[in-house]
Amino acid sequence: MALYPTAFIEELKQHADIVTVIQDYVSLKKAGTKYKGLCPFHGEKTPSFTVDRDKGFFHCFGCRAGGDVIKFIELHEKLGFMDAVKQLAQRFGMTLPEPEQSEEHRAGTAERESLLKIHEVAAAWFRDQLASPAGTRIRKLITERGLTEETSAALGLGFAPPTRDGLTQALRNQGYSPGLLMRAGLTVQREDGSVMDRFRNRLMIPICRDTGSVIAFGGRALDADQPAKYLNSPETPIYSKSRTLYGLNLAKTAIRQGGFAVLVEGYFDFAQLFQAGYQSVVASCGTALTPQQVQQLRRFTSKVVLSFDPDAAGEGAAAKSCEMLVSAGFDVNVAILPAGEDPDTFVRRHGRQGYADRLLKSQPYLEYLLDRSARGLNLNTDEGRVKLLSEMLPVASRIPDAAMRDRFGDRLAFKARVTDEVVRAEIRRAAVQRQTTVARLELPSLNRVTKAEKGLIWFLVHDPARCLTAIRSLDAADFDALSTRSVLDLVRKLDEDSSFSPSVLLERLSMGEAQLVTAIASETEPPVHQAEDCVRALRRTRYERERGAVQREIDRLQQLGAADHGEEINALLVRKHDLQQRIAEFDAAPGLRSSLGGV
């Protein structure tokens, strides 16, 4: 990714006073050397949100959100890093420099721009074909599907004629190379080496980024004897199916304003709801949501209503999507339609008001799933109750919010006629063992981070020069098995590049890592006296790990037969003795153990 020069980012942070920026969104009151207010990222009545003007970061002790002034704008305005920088620069009257790019990156950027342009030209050509006399039959089919000309135009629908290379010739005549057409996924090469249009005799549906740029196409077959009902563009440098939600470009404003999204499966489900005035709708296009799509949706809302028929609601892609959203912390409701109906057919038969009634009667997914699972079971028997619990406990264990998990546990206990305490204990046990389906950041809680690690992180923010000097004395092996290794590895890399500063560190960290760092740095006093004590403690911990590994190897060789492995065992005993001496030297260091008790 191209980045603005580090010097510019530092200058921007100096101009963009973090207290001034955050006060536009949060009422802050001075509390000692810091400022406090109600967190804008979660509901609370007692302020736990702090801003440190001197250090240039914010942190919430409630939800653990944290970072610098750019990160605040990213989170609050739901922007990417580059857009957050642009917004701050514009506000404080700073001229944006050109982003820094490598030769490789410039070449990649040029190709992506060419791919975007060729998709734009292809989309226009498909629209022209639909408007031509050859598209008469297709326009009639669109009308028969209940879509107006206005909706067709808003969605950019087009027509790929049955000719072998109509699009290819049109694009070649405009100067686009055969190689670019192939990389764009608009042409395919046959076994005999000839090239032909990928999309032929199909209703063309452009797929866009949330910014509105066309990046791919979906082609719907027009005749029953065609090999595939739907044909989609392949993955390209500008299109990844797992990262794209159909219709988000048209829906994102309504989703933000309304506070929720309606999730459907198909292109025509989207089209009918969009035409009926439900503009906060997006489509997964028949596949289960991916973690990347979930995170993309998270930028705009935390509540989703899923709309599908009863047969699909508890199985397949729909069920996986529901569980993934619940696991990611979304509020998920289910709007159930009559058997055999989908949003497309339902809206055509029952109109906007009929669908509105279904949305109003939508049921929380967990409640729906609980009722559905209990249906058909005899809960007066132990067998029925056990079966219900076995189905529901894994679902409950994936609910990230503890309060919501307990409420669902209580509901499950009532349904299964089991005591609350038993169900809650089983849910906690299942939660410990679970493997969630959502890619979640694996970061330690503060109570799992050693005092030495906390000390280093605290000093990196409050006394970086001295702390970096201490860290340079550590070897790579000293960082093995540390809970905060990813953070400290980045610190060492930035130091090697002579680009370390607390603000640059926060900028480069992931959201979860930044939350951890700001939580530690927000403490008024360091957890240890000196950074050098932390370094010595980490070195001592490494020697303890190595001594344990040596002892395990000695035990293994002795089990195999001491007589056959005498030399190896003797060498390991020498190594163990050396490590014990080193550990003893650390223990003899004045004040180290008292300063770092429980490292």
Say which amino acid occupies 470. A
Q: Which residues does 214 contact at the CB level (< 8 Å), separation at least 6? A: 116, 119, 120, 122, 123, 156, 206, 207, 208
Domain ranges of the chain: 6-91, 106-239, 243-370, 376-433, 446-595
pLDDT digits (tens, 9 = 90+) for 452-489: 888 898 998 888 888 998 889 888 888 877 778 888 88
SS (H, E, C) 276-339: CCCCCEEECCCCCCCHHHHHHHHCCCCEEEEEECHHHHCCHHHHHHHHHHHHCCCEEEEEECCC
Instruction: Give the CB-side neighbour count of residue 26, counting CA atoms within 13 A.
Output: 28
Q: Options 3.40.1580, 1.10.860, 3.30.200, 1.10.3470; which CATH number does 446-595 get?
A: 1.10.860
* pLDDT given at position 584: 81
Model confidence at 437: pLDDT above 60: no
For tokens 């280093």, what's the residue? 456
pLDDT digits (tens, 9 = 90+) for 137-195: 999 999 999 999 999 999 999 999 999 999 999 999 999 999 999 999 999 988 888 89
Report which of residues 388 and 203 the model is more confident about.
Answer: 203
CATH top class, domain 243-370: alpha beta
pLDDT digits (tens, 9 = 90+) for 304-343: 998 876 555 445 556 677 778 887 778 889 888 888 888 9
* pLDDT given at position 116: 92
* pLDDT given at position 594: 47
* pLDDT given at position 118: 96
Report which DSSP code applies to 42.
Answer: S
pLDDT digits (tens, 9 = 90+) for 356-374: 999 998 888 888 888 878 8
CA distance 327 to 492: 34
pLDDT digits (tens, 9 = 90+) for 45-89: 888 999 988 888 899 988 888 889 999 998 888 887 888 898 898
Q: What is the mean pLDDT of the chain?
A: 83
CA distance 57 to 17: 10
* pLDDT given at position 480: 74
118 alpha-carbon distance from chain centroid: 29
Model confidence at 379: pLDDT above 60: yes
Bridge-partner residues for 31, per DSSP? 34
CA distance 282 to 19: 37
Question: Which of the four pLDDT bands, split at 50, 70 and 90, describes residue 14?
Answer: confident
Question: Which of the four pLDDT bands, split at 50, 70 and 90, describes residue 101?
Answer: low
Model confidence at 440: pLDDT above 70: no
Mean pLDDT of the region 229-234: 92
Using a 10 angstrom Cβ sphere, with 0-12 exposed, 13-18 middle and 19 or more buried, the burial of residue 400 is middle
CA distance 443 to 445: 7
Q: C-alpha distances in angstroms, 191 versus 21, 194, 195, 196, 226?
A: 60, 7, 9, 11, 20
Model confidence at 538: pLDDT above 80: yes
Check: pTM over 0.75? Answer yes or no.
Answer: no
Evaluate whether 212 touches 249 at the Cβ level (below 8 Å): yes
Say which amino acid occupies 325. L
Note whether 6-91 and 446-595 share their fold. Answer: no
Is the domain spanning 106-239 CATH 3.40.190.10? The answer is no
Model confidence at 570: pLDDT above 50: yes
CATH of domain 6-91: 3.90.580.10
